Structure 1
């Protein structure tokens, strides 16, 4: 049975891709087949094979299934700016239904675990009346929240969890990710989040200057996701 989760973040640059790759590596250690999709990515580089995004390439490396890049990152945008602005400048329309169709194709490919990684925070715009949060709503999949452990994270995490719930989706779990070192009162902030977030803590990922997602996988527990 395939289990699919949308990976959201409390903000941009909180380590969604790093944590997603670590979750995939954790699943692979349990002999599970994994796949991932980053439906839209800005900040792509021009290569001989077309536009390529570093985050999408990392997911492609971490997953066990062999998927074409176009399946992992169907919408690649060059400028490292908000996706809806990058798409507008490129003359492209970000269509949630098209993204959902590609995600469903990956979801039906036979993996045990599929992760669909968002961009930015929960309410990242795709257009005048569309948001990336419309994608997990259309797919009706539960959410994993990556909390970037930094000043303000409690407010961001609780507001995001509230928005997820109001959108009719389930917060299946969350990961505390120390994307930066030196957070003041880290233990106290973590204890507050554990008390207030209505979902299991899947792991606390310490700061790693080497950014090795395989090492980070050792700090995670995916068992609550696979029941």
Structure 2
């Protein structure tokens, strides 16, 4: 199912076909659509890698973009921030990520906000540490999963493979959103239709 009305989405988990598919851009659009309905909304990006130093503090550029919409404290949006632009299980050199603390934080957000949007890290098959994959976090949160498809060359393959894997891993798949990254990609509509027809 392709999602066309962001405002109709429930609290959800945003994943993507791959890194740089535009999860944060789409997440911001969903958050704004919720806000326009008068809802109190929160963004939660539990884990971010490839962060930058700003005013002596390591910050995620994704979290900064989410903060610009929700005005939440950065620490509330992104508790685990790693400098290396790598998979979390590599970037988290000190083993800081803790699933229990992550879920406690998430439940607090659910209790305090009307809608909560959780943004993943990278694509779907991402290790969080040596024992946990991203899907373990998604299952524990029990949120509908929305996939962002980077519309460009190769997007049909990447999208269908990711949708199939999400469906294999969990029964939480909710739908997908097309994100046209390259305005010069001439076959965007045909590619989107191909994904619709086959997913």
Structure 2 residue 197 is matched with structure 1 residue 190: no
When normalised by structure 1's length, the TM-score is 0.78
| Other-structure match for 1:121 | 123
Structure 1: runs of 5 or more not aligned:
198-227
1:175-186 to structure 2, matched below 5 A, reads 175-186=177-188
1:1-227 to structure 2, matched below 5 A, reads 3-48=10-55, 50-63=57-70, 66-88=71-93, 91-109=94-112, 111-197=113-199
Runs of 4+ that moved beyond 3 A: none
| SS class of match (1:172) | strand
Q: Please give the per-residue CA displacement for 1:125-183, whole angstroms capped at 9, x wherever unaligned.
A: 11223111211111111111100001121121112112222222322221100112222
Contact persistence 2:148–2:179 (CA under 8 A): yes
- Determine the C-alpha separation between the residues in 1 that align with 2:56 and 2:146: 32
When normalised by structure 2's length, the TM-score is 0.88
Give the total of aligned pairs.
191
The alignment yields a C-alpha RMSD, in angstroms, of: 1.8
Structure 2: runs of 5 or more not aligned:
1-8
